Amino acid sequence: MKKGLNKISGLTLIEILIGIVVSSLMMAAIYSTYSIVNNTYNQVIEKAKISRSSRDLIELLIRDTRMAGFKYYLGINTLGYPKETYLNFNGGNTSIQESHDPIVIIPAEQKGLGHYVSDVIEDYDGDLNDVFDAEQAIRIPDYKSKCCDKIHIVYDDFNQSDNLQPYKRYKVTYYALARTDGGENRYAIYKSKIEWQQARTSEAAKFPEEGKWITYPECAECYHNQLVRDYVDDMEFIPIGKEGQKIPYPNPTTSAGRESLYNLRAVDIRIAFKSKKDFFRSINPDRSLKGFSKDAVEFNDRKLRDNVVVTVYTRNIGGDIF
* Contact by Cβ (8 Å): 176, 188: yes
Would the pLDDT of 116 be above 70?
no
In a domain, residue 16? The reply is no
Q: What is the pLDDT of residue 239?
A: 92
Instruction: Tell me which residue range forms the domain holding 269.
Output: 69-313
Among 15-24, 66-75, 207-216, the range scoring the smallest mean pLDDT is 207-216
Q: Which of 1-5, 80-84, 190-194 has the highest mean pLDDT?
A: 190-194
pLDDT at 163 over 60: yes
Range of lowest pLDDT (3-12, 124-133, 224-233): 124-133
Task: Write the burial class of residue 122 (CB in 10 Å: 0-12 exposed, 13-18 middle, 19+ buried).
Answer: buried
What is the pTM for the complete model shown?
Answer: 0.77
Domain presence at residue 2: no
DSSP code at position 123: P
Q: How far is CA 25 from CA 12, 32, 33, in A?
A: 20, 10, 12
- The bridge status of strand 264-274 relative to strand 297-298 is unpaired
Q: Which has more confidence, 319 or 228?
A: 228
Q: Is residue 149, in this structure, part of any structural domain at all?
A: yes
The answer as to whether 4 is a domain residue is no
The number of domains in the chain is 1
Amino acid of residue 181? D
Bridge-partner residues for 105, per DSSP? Answer: 151
Q: Which residue has the higher pLDDT, 75 or 80?
A: 75
For residues 103 and 157, the answer to whether their CB atoms sit within 8 Å is: no
Please give the residue that has the higher pLDDT: either 318 or 116. Answer: 318
**106 within a domain of the structure (yes/no):** yes
Per-residue model confidence (pLDDT) at position 1: 52
Q: Indicate if the pLDDT at residue 37 is higher than 90.
A: no
Residue 187: the pLDDT is 83
CB neighbours of residue 98 within 10 Å: 19
Residue 100 has pLDDT above 80, yes or no: yes
Asked if residue 48 belongs to a domain, the reply is: no
Judged against a pLDDT cut of 80, whether residue 229 lies above it is answered with: yes
pLDDT confidence of 204, banded at 50, 70, 90?
low
The strand pairing partners of 195, in sequence order, are: 170, 214
Evaluate whether residue 60 is within a structural domain: no
Calpha distance 153→213 (Å, rounded): 14
Instruction: Give the long-range contacts of residues 207-216, CB within 8 A, separation 24 or more.
Output: 207/164, 211/88, 213/98, 213/128, 213/171, 215/126, 215/127
| Residue 186 near residue 232, CB atoms below 8 Å | yes
pLDDT, mean over the chain: 76
**Assigned domain for 138 exists:** yes
pLDDT tier for residue 64 given thresholds of 50, 70 and 90: very high
Lowest mean pLDDT among 189-198, 210-219, 236-245, 287-296: 287-296
